[in-house]
Amino acid sequence: MSKQHYVSNSEESTRMFRSSLFESLSKVHYSVPLFIFMPVIAYFLYLSFTAPALGLVSGLAFFALGLFVWTLTEYVMHRFVFHYVPKSKLGLRLHFIFHGVHHDYPKDRMRLVLPPSVSIPLAVVFYFIWKSVIGGAGFYPFFAAFITGYLIYDMIHYAIHHVQFKGKLWNVLKSHHLKHHYVHPSKGYGVSSPLWDNIAQTKFPEEKKSMA
C-alpha cells in the first residue's frame, strides 16, 4: 500500500476566488443538478416515446448504450481531464479550481457536484457530439440515459462523502472512491462504477495480508 495522503476533513468551503461572483459560481447545493437536468431527461424520454421511427426494443437498446457510454465518459474525464496536472502556474491554478480543491477538501459540501457553470456547458458540448455520432431517433433515449448516468454519478459522489447507506454494493463503491482520495489518487477513477478501472488496469493494487 502506498503512503496515505493528507487531506482536510473540514466540511467548510475554502475560498478560491477574490471575486464574490466567481466564488458563488464555484459552489452548488447537491440538489441543483436534479432540478436542472431531470426536466432535460423527461423531455428526451418524451421525444423517445413519441418518435414514430423508434420501437421499444431499439429505444431500450439506445438507452442502455447511453448509460454504458456515460460510464466510459466519466472514467475518461476523471482520469485524463480532472487529473491532468499541467506544469505552468496558470495550468496548476486551473487544475486546482476544477479538481485539485476536491482532493484537498473532499468533504466540502458545496463542491461535490458539478456547478451549473460547468455542467451546463459540458452538457451542451456532449449534446452536439453525440447528436452528430448517433443521429436519428435513437439519439433521444441515448441522450436521456447519458444525462441520467451523469446525475447518478453526481448523487453517488455526494452520498459517498456525506451519507451512510448499508449494503454490499454501496460499500464497494464507497471504499473504491475513498481509496482514490486517501490512499491511491492515481488509481480508481470510476465513481459510479469500477468497471473501467478493471478494464484499463487502474484498479487498486491488492493488499498483502500479514501472516498471523
Which 3-state string (H, E, C) describes the chain? Answer: CCCCCCCCCCCCCCCCCCCHHHHHHCCCCCCHHHHHHHHHHHHHHHHHHHCCCCCHHHHHHHHHHHHHHHHHHHHHHHHHHHCCCCCCHHHHHHHHHHHHHHHHCCCCHHHCCCCHHHHHHHHHHHHHHHHHHHCCCCHHHHHHHHHHHHHHHHHHHHHHHHCCCCCHHHHHHHHHHHHHHHCCCCCCCCCCCCHHHHHCCCCCCCCCCCCC
Averaged confidence pLDDT in the chain = 86
Our count of domains for the chain comes to 1
Angle at 115 between CA 110 and CA 117, to 5 degrees: 145
Give the pLDDT of residue 153: 95
pLDDT of 3 higher than 60: no
In this structure, is residue 140 part of a structural domain? Answer: yes
pLDDT of 4 higher than 70: no
* Mean pLDDT confidence for 35-48: 96
In this structure, is residue 24 part of a structural domain? Answer: no
Between residues 132 and 164, the one the model is more confident about: 132
pLDDT of 207 higher than 70: no
In this structure, is residue 102 part of a structural domain? Answer: yes
In this structure, is residue 197 part of a structural domain? Answer: no
In this structure, is residue 201 part of a structural domain? Answer: no
Give the pLDDT of residue 20: 83
Domain extent at residue 68: 33-164
pLDDT of 146 higher than 90: yes
Q: How far apart are CA 117 and CA 132, in angstroms?
A: 24
pLDDT of 69 higher than 90: yes
In this structure, is residue 27 part of a structural domain? Answer: no
In this structure, is residue 184 part of a structural domain? Answer: no
In this structure, is residue 16 part of a structural domain? Answer: no
Between residues 29 and 14, the one the model is more confident about: 29
